[in-house]
Structure 1
Amino acid sequence: MKVSKERAAENRERILDEASRLFRERGVQGVGVDALGEAAGLTHGSLYSQFGSKDRLLAEAVGRAFASFGAKVGTIDDADAYVSEYLSAAHRENPGDGCAVAALGSEMPRQSEAVRKVFTDAVLRSRARVARLLLKRRGREPEDDALAMLATMAGAMMLARAVDDPELSDRILEVCRQHLQRAA
């Protein structure tokens, strides 16, 4: 049965939404094509017909992950508030709705050039967003400071998610949040 163009577009959006969430929750290697199809309510054949390969789907899902997190934090217009939102328990506990850098950054060196290009371009856009927040406060272009802030936040989130001690996890978020707010 042939699917209408509108239905195919809806399916594509659903696949991308679910893939971006699942990849952030489980990692690239932790998500197979069958799981992606099941989450989107489609067959793995539908995924291949839309994207051709898991790698192409991953590239688009990474872009979607950055876009959805960017929309979530895009209305924040203060560097301290941005740091507080990023280094929060809610963000730590919901990687599927969170930052792709913290969720997938450690896996990117092993991905294709196409996936890494999407990731790199999105990191540069994130740097620009953080630099704009810092610019409001400092009155100069702080691109290097924005990179340091992004790297610290992502590293802190990765570490807070990795440890098995809830108190240590909370402490990692708190001390990094305080450090970055003093530095900003």
Structure 2
Amino acid sequence: MARASRAVAEQHKAAIEAVSARLVREHGLHGISVAQVMADAGLTHGGFYGHFASKDELVARACALAFEESAGRWQHRIDQAHGDRQAARQSLVDQYLTTAHRDAAGDGCAAPALTGDVAREASGKPVHAAYLQGLKTLLGLWESTAPDDDNGDDDENGGDAARGAALAEVAMLVGAMTMARATRGDALSDELLDAVRTRLLASAKPITA
């Protein structure tokens, strides 16, 4: 019976985490309440503190889970390219910079959905560590799609250059999506997505003699 009770408790906690990961992306860190999360998970409000010590703890876990979902999608697309870095990068860009992604924040990348809110949180809040780790994971995945010429093996400064390029490119992805959502309904929104898509894919093309 104890095992069954633990299993049910784990199922309930997983349901709360999944719901909160979706809701924070859709409504922001302060756009949701514990009552809303529990209701969407099909549980009673009073059961919340049996799983989490505070809303801050839940928000940090929701942030981490949202990034884990994003990283899983990125890894899947990279794996589907079977070692072709340019194909992997194109697949990531083509999936990311779309109107479908723009209009479905609750199911999309954690970075553009949470950046503004996390930046305004007090430095001691646990969500900062969750956000930082999640973003570093996405950066690492993006770096793995860099053209072979950018891996820095033959140039002592190449590694720094490749790292700088990855930072700038991920910032372009996240920034474009953030601004596209903020300008949704105006032609500028689509222009932002198209412009950054073109720039990123152009930079991924191998240099030929």
User: Is TM more than 0.5 here?
Assistant: yes
Q: Which runs of 5+ in 1 are unaligned?
A: none
TM-superposed CA distance for 1:48, in Å, is: 1.9
Q: What pairs with 1:76-115 in structure 2 (closer than 5 Å)?
A: 76-77=77-78, 78-111=88-121, 112-115=124-127
Contact 2:56 2:125 in 1 (8 A): no
TM-score (norm 2): 0.82
User: 1:67 Cα deviation (Å)?
Assistant: 0.6
SS in 1 for 2:77: coil
Structure 1 residue 23, shift from structure 2 partner: 0.2
TM-score by length of 1: 0.92
Query: Higher helix proportion, which one?
Result: 1
Give the match for residue 119 of structure 1. Answer: 131
- Assess if the C-alpha contact under 8 Å between 1:130 and 1:146 holds in 2: yes
Deviation at 1:81, TM superposition (A): 1.6
> In structure 2, how many angstroms separate the alpha carbons of the residues matched to 1:68 and 1:83?
17
Identity %: 32
Give the whole-Å Cα distance in 1 for the aligned partners of 2:9 and 2:175: 38
Q: Any gaps of 5 or more consecutive residues in structure 2?
A: 79-87, 153-158, 205-209
RMSD in angstroms over aligned alpha carbons?
Answer: 1.7
Counterparts of 1:143 and 1:42, CA distance in 2: 45
Of structures 1 and 2, the larger Rg is shown by 2
May I ask how many residue pairs the two structures share in their alignment?
183
Separation (CA, whole Å) in 2 of partners of 1:81 and 1:96: 21
Shift in Å at residue 38 of structure 1? 0.8
Q: Is this contact kept in 1: 2:74–2:141, CA < 8 A?
A: no
Offset at residue 137 of structure 1 (A)? 6.3
